[in-house]
Amino acid sequence: MSELLNVALPKGRLGDKVYGLFEKAGYGCPDVLDPGRRLVFESPERGVRYFFVKPSDVAIYVERGAADVGVAGKDILLEYRPDVYELLDLGLGRCRMCVCGKPDHADSGEGSLRVATKFTRITRDYYASQGRSVDLIHLNGSIELAPILGLSDVIVDIVETGATLRENGLAVLTEILPVSARFIANKPSYKFKYEAVTALARRLSDCIEEKL
Amino acid sequence: MENPALFAADTPKRRLLALYEKHGYARYRVGRFEEYDLYAKNRSFITGSAILTFTDTDGRLMALKPDVTLSVIKNTPVGESLRKLYYAESVFRAPDPESGFAEIQQAGLECIGKLDEYSVAEIVSLAAESLGLLASAYILDVTHLGLLRGFFADEGIPEAHWDKLLTLAEAKNTHEVRGDAWGLSDTSAETFRRLVHLRAPLEEGVRELSALPLGPRAADALSELASLAVALREVPGIWLDLSLKADTRYYNGVVLRGYLPGVPSAVLSGGRYDGLVRRLGRDAGAMGFAVYLNLLDRLAPGRPGPDADVLILDEGADSAALLRYVRELTASGARVRVDRAVPEGFRYTRLVRFQGGEARE
């Protein structure tokens, strides 16, 4: 049996969906469905070893070669720019990176716009492309609080259904980019395990197309 | 001051330097400092933007070298014959700004002057041989920067979109290519996808490329690659990968990246950089590569080998006889330690007890 392909998947709801796609593609591992406290699951007959890690850590596992391939959100790839191959858009976990704020917010264009976000690089790039100077406020969570308490004028964050925004009296002001889960590969792994990585990518791609 | 441990018998560094010497490359030694101005003018040539600086006693702003190539070119006179140089030096960079500065050991070579087909082939071959000296399996990816750029020009794709397309190519991301919006027809978008995902041994890859509908500019680059592929026919481990990206203000022509199994990023990087040489006011071409020696630690994870081949316990030895014995062992290449007892945690292959003039196992 050749070496197993190490696959890093995001924990949580997105991970369940992603694992479902891998299973459908013929890379199932029954132990995943009965996880207990285990973090690593192997299926030697399918040639894969899965680990479930924090979604924002998947790209690090792949870039550093602890995983050969993985699934990470486009938001994470744009924010941290890991040196990996992005082979497929899996179309799962679709959401939007948006500028949000109070519905009546109007940017006067004067001074620096105060923007609170977890995604400082994406935000900086976006406003640089608009030629707008900003005062970036990096927050790690509860971003929606920032405009409510006057900490920032607007926020840049992921919006899935918009329910949290609405509940807090906020609205999407501008959509920056669409976000979805991407199949990524470590560069040397792609080269040394080319057949295994591309066979998996092909099967995943076939499954996505079937679904479409 | 060189680290003496690096000169122990048969280190990767020694193997590489011996290879370069065998091919007539001369050792180039550089100091650790360089005027900051050199890097300020060529900032984007250097990986990672942070540079360690200090003010010298005469007031000049100096830098701890973040790069060797710039110094080599700046300090090497160019004449009719090629200047073939190799180096093994530390550079100081912050590849990850959150992790601070690191001392990175590099060994590599530079060939400066009027490069011809043989010189380019020799450098690519030496890059492959360098990787072969470090691990039993390796991959050396090769591209020609003129190929994708030539393809864009041939297809009439506006230059404003080239960088976006090259960035996507570097990640082998073709699902985000927006054909119509970026001036690609359906056919050219499909050709772009095939170019980006093409992966084959160099000669086979060139054959596959020859079957694609490429315009004259891309065909020029392909023709150079084809000649290179023929010259390198007998060198194993060289693959074509058009997704490699390099800054075309400095690089042109052939670009290289080398990989070893178990090391999560490229251990070798290089290419032809006539643009850099011209920016430094020289009328010449240049090509070279660097091997990142720090990354080789990843090749031998776990417990390192023994501290000595032979541990000799001095149990009342005749000093002259023991010294003679040690000299004989070290002359045969063994690493020897003499002590009165086994040092704590010390690992050895053979234990010898020495009493009077006698050695016994």
pLDDT in tens, A155-167: 999 999 999 999 9
Average pLDDT, chain B: 89
Nearest to B1 by CA among B108, B90, B96: B90
Q: Is A89 on the interface with B (CB under 8 A)?
A: yes
A121 touches chain B (CB under 8 A): no
Torsion of CA B177, B183, B187, B192, to 10 degrees: -50
Q: How far apart are the first and last CA of chain A?
A: 34
- Whether B1 has a pLDDT exceeding 80, the answer reads no
Is A65 touching B (CB cutoff 8 A)? yes
Measure the N-to-C terminal CA separation of chain B; round to a whole number of Å.
38
Q: What is the interface pTM, i.e. ipTM, of the complex? A: 0.89
Which of A192, A194, A198, A202 should we substitute to test contact with B (largest number of B Cβ atoms within 10 Å)?
Answer: A192
- B9: pLDDT strictly greater than 60: no
To the question of pTM greater than 0.90 for the whole model, the response is: no
Mean pLDDT of B124-136: 96
Q: Which stretches within chain B are classed as H helix?
A: 12-22, 36-40, 69-75, 117-134, 145-155, 162-170, 186-197, 202-210, 216-231, 274-279, 319-331
Of B171, B199, B259, nearest to A188 by CB-CB distance is: B259
Which of B142, B173, B174 has the most A C-beta neighbours within 10 Å, making it the best mutation to test the interface with A? B173
Task: Flag whether pLDDT at B302 surpasses 60.
Answer: no
Residue A191 to residue B264, Cβ atoms within 8 A: no
Other CB atoms within 10 A of residue B272 CB: 26
Q: Read off the amino acid at residue A79.
A: E
Q: Hey, are the CB atoms on A188 and B239 less than 8 Å from each other?
A: no
Q: Is A172 helix (H, G, I), strand (E, B) or coil?
A: strand
pLDDT digits 0-9 by tens, B65-82: 888 888 888 888 877 789
**Residues present in chain B in total:** 361
Q: How many residues comprise chain A?
A: 212
Q: State the average pLDDT for chain A.
A: 92
Predicted pLDDT of residue A178:
95
CB count within 10 Å of CB B243 equals 23
Chain centroid, CA B202 distance in Å: 19
